Amino acid sequence: MTESKSCALKKVQGGGFIGTGISIFFLINRLKEQENITEELKATNQIKWVGKMNNIKN
């Protein structure tokens, strides 16, 4: 993960991150939009949805 002056992320126990000045939820939502991960995909193909969400997490 890249650090910049406006957004530094600190890795914490359990593999998560604590953001300073930015919300991790905002980042996840942006990535979901970019990767076309929708609630419709979740309803129609749960295995694919889980795989894509895990790719964001990792």
pLDDT in tens, 8-57: 555 565 666 665 556 788 888 899 999 999 999 999 999 999 999 999 88
Token pair 């076309």: residue = 36
Is residue 50 within a helix (H) or strand (E), and if so which, with residue range? helix 46-57
Question: What Cα–Cα distance (Å) separates residue 22 from each residue in 12, 25, 40, 44, 45?
Answer: 16, 9, 27, 32, 31
pTM over 0.75: no
Torsional sign, CA 43, 45, 51, 56: negative
Instruction: Give the confidence band of 2 by pLDDT, cuts at 50, 70, 90.
Output: very low
Q: How far is CA 57 from its chain centroid?
A: 5
Task: Provide the residue ranges of all domains of the chain, joining segments of one domain with +.
Answer: 8-57
Whether 7 shows a pLDDT value over 60: the answer reads no
pLDDT at position 58, please?
75
